[in-house]
Chain A
Amino acid sequence: MDEDLRDFRQQTRDWLEANCPPEMREPMRDESDACWGGRNPSFKSEAQRRWMEVMAERGWTVPDWPKYYGGGGRTPAETKVLRQEMARIGARNPLMSFGISMLGPALLKYGNDAQRKLYLTQIARGEIRWCQGYSEPGAGSDLASLQTKCEDKGDHWLVNGQKVWTSYADKADWIFCLVRTDPQAPKHKGISFLLFDMASPGVSTKPILLISGNSPFCETFFDDVKVPKDQLVGELNKGWDVAKYLLGHEREMISGMGLGHQSGSLGEAFGEIMADDPILRADVAHFDVDALAFRAMSERFIDELKAGRAHPAQPSMMKYAGTELNKARHELVMAAGGSNALEWESDRSRQGKSAREWLRTKANSIEGGTSEIQLGIVAKRILDLPGT
């Protein structure tokens, strides 16, 4: 077993050495360097395209999914080795995808055979870019009160309503969406989980300008959108189960952001800046303790997940801790940067990279369920404290 794993590590190392382009071993400068794939993909470089394609061909965009669905069919231990070997050479994630991190796991658990074969294969190859239709103007923390209406019209579903905070809806090909299929039932019991093409007539999107000056989120409108009947996942009116399961995976993904683009020590990067500010140095040192401890927690959490040993509510704890840590990181980046970090448009500041990232992180503890929602889940489901 150990020997097999050693062989796998060596083979993986050799293969990555031969196939990961040097440009894809440079750290990503920001979110725009990520490769998202899709129907009309925009690659920043030939190397980026090639890296996604060779990894997809091997099933290594999703190494632990079954081969039948385009995955690598690898064990948890092998998947961990692959990640370690990628990290060793600084290899970038070949494909960023809400399909991989959120929809895929939900389809594996709740999708029927035809849905799994079709959608998972597309996701693994990066052919379809997905977005998530969850929040609505009146349904934020109280997500289950969502109102987007979905009516059974015999040979199709008819969808009307509005979503908000839809990440990259203007760039996505398809949406996985929570809709109300039974307005009479109690709020958790009348929701279904629906997939549809964003190019369908009646779908429109409008980017939302955020405090960072960027627009990663949209308002998404549905006006008499017709959806084929076979695109409902799981049972009718039982979409809340799918929604919650998927949220667990979303929280895992967001908690990973606590590690930042580089997961090492923050103080190492600051260097000289702190020489005349012992109080900042102390703050950064305590932050580094927290960051490196959280990195160990992330490793443990992934190990436990893969082994089926994690508490089902543990993603809430990870999401809470990871996002609060990331906010703290960027507060320190701003403090260390001083007035340099305040520049908003100059080339010197790379168009206000520090300031815009700092502001972006403030959404981390809101999106995917606020910190307060996560703490409430931990209190009730892990600590077994009373209350609704």
Chain B
Amino acid sequence: MNKTLTTPIRDEDLEQLNAGDIVFLDGCLVTCRDVGHRRLIELGMKLPVDLQGLAILHAGPIVTKDGDGWKMISIGPTTSMRMESFEKEFIRQTGVKLIVGKGGMGPETVEGCRTHKAVHAVFPGGCAVLAATEVEAIERVEWLDLGMPEALWVCRVKQFGPLIISIDTKGNNLFETNTARFNEKKGPIVREISSQVRFIK
């Protein structure tokens, strides 16, 4: 049985989760990326979707018109780190509980997740058709003036995942741990290769 989070997500749903756990999402997932974050935090514009207890996805999908509505064609995560400078304040202002993206995020987001009880998770990057088949419907779209990738697509999802928890509510950061490990290994490997590429003599 997959561990499933259902929106609205409560603090107690998240407290048991640890970095490295795998979960799936049922409910409401809203795409929000670079300009969506900038508009709320830097420009002070009101977000046209109430995100309290909901999930956002750092993503810019491919959608097509489908009668009066929209059809999700392809929707994978984008690099979360681009939203690092906004995310802590974004979590505080919106009450969003689950942030889905790709790759890790930094200490500010860790702080926001700990203080306001939220988590960051990664959906495997590039797996955009898999993700699209887990979107049941696009309920509406906001800020379409930003163009297809940057608009806020409000989606109803079923068993959306796998989502690997990368930042939990306790201050753990999977990617920070991994990066420390990569950097530790790097020094000796670079020295070893360097000794074999002294072509300037």
Same complex origin of A and B: no
Footprint of B on A, CB under 8 Å?
A: none
